[in-house]
Chains A and B, each alone.
Chain A
């Protein structure tokens, strides 16, 4: 009896209320407000699917970012019920039927849920010089690469998994109070290059970029960064490690 089954099937699905922060800084007179949308939950629904559903069926003006929808590009981070998450990796099923969505704080707001994390990440990267400072100026691609111990390569890879989503910075109480704070993502990058035997920088050099209250000594070890990182980077131990090393320089 497929017909009588259909309504029962539909009943299993909840109706969700998504309360979304709306604000367009480009529009004169726009004031931040929360707007509610009601949608029917579907099997395996992620916030990415839910938001697209709202945009195609209910409100084409809603702004939010997605690229890979697989937790790789890091562009879909937003505050879900007050905590930063990757929307494409968040199942609505794990939440009550009332979900609030707000943009990541700290970063430049483009509109609604869309923030310019890329701009800040680039600035951070330039400030901390988060690229390999090798011995040679030019890379000779014809030569065989230097050997690296597998354990070292693995430890570096562990930190390289960062997708620059900005969740750690949005979760960080220190960053909310002090705009010039480096943030866990920056510490993660420094820790990564510190591990790299090809990088010629010493702890004195690293001190020059993170050895102050905007850097590692400003971190109050609230560890929200560690708890929200969607890639589960070992931020807690890495920051503590950097703090010890930088304190030894001082």
Chain B
């Protein structure tokens, strides 16, 4: 171990047996990307339960707080998931840094190349870099919020945040950028590893479909939250509990008004 460090410091690492790390990092980049993308898809489905109704969304959010297992809501379970996701997210961002154009010369080169070549997949990669860069900030803020204020997820709490706390522009950007990044990412993942073995036109079609479907789903859900938030703005802060649910759920959250 010590020898290795000294050999590396002497600038001779390239002369020894090649490190296995580049292979692992490449796999890890893809694995974290895949995980985040799958999570995003699942997340958008649960998120859009609000389109079915407040009760449906309430059930989903309580489900994740373990209410139906323990008979009591534990918002820290959500914190745990958000925290784990944050680690994956940070690992992915760190690995992605390796690919960023990191100085003016590189950026100018790749941009001119994209413009002059007019090659679709090369341009898409630049979009992936742009959207990934935005996710640094928007994704991080969102995950942080969910990790530290998990109890504020629910049909009314979420709507209040989106409408009365005026966070809808934030969610609009986050949604668009994340879905774009994930759709391009999944497409490139398939090309990169040669699996699933669909032809490129098919993969392009899937990419477009995925993007359109999840963006539409997310936008509809966002609109619904905004609408509920608007109607609910006079009762800002009041939580929602279905009439059929035990009143215990409210006390379990420890924040009955």
Contact = CB atoms under 8 A, between A and B. Distances in A.
Contacts of A241: 194
Contacts of A224: 117, 119, 121-122
A79 B117 CA distance: 9
A223 B115 CA distance: 16
Interface residues of B, number: 34
B118 to A, nearest CB: 6
Contacts of B191: 221, 223, 236, 240
A211 B27 CA distance: 13
A83 B118 CA distance: 8
Interface in A164-203: 171, 173, 176-177
A25 interface: no
Contact of A240 (B27, B116, B194): B194
A107 interface: no
Contacts of B122: 173, 222, 224
A246 interface: yes
A59 interface: no
A177 B114 CA distance: 12
For the complex, would chain A's binding face be called helix, strand, loop or mixed by DSSP majority?
helix
Interface string B97-124: 0110100001001100111111101100
A89 to B, nearest CB: 19
B35 interface: no
B132 to A, nearest CB: 12
Nearest to B118: A82
A207 B21 CA distance: 12
B2 interface: no
B119 A171 contact: yes
Contacts of A212: 18-19, 22
B129 to A, nearest CB: 10
Given A213-B98, A246-B23, A240 B192 contact: yes
A236 B195 CA distance: 12
Given A173-B114, A176-B109, A247-B27, A240 B22 contact: no
B117 A83 contact: yes
Q: Which 9 residue pairs of A and B lie closest in terms of their CB atoms, listed nearest first?
A: A250-B23, A240-B194, A82-B116, A221-B192, A217-B26, A250-B20, A212-B22, A222-B122, A177-B106
Interface of B: 17-27, 98-99, 101, 106, 109-110, 113-119, 121-122, 125, 188, 191-195, 200
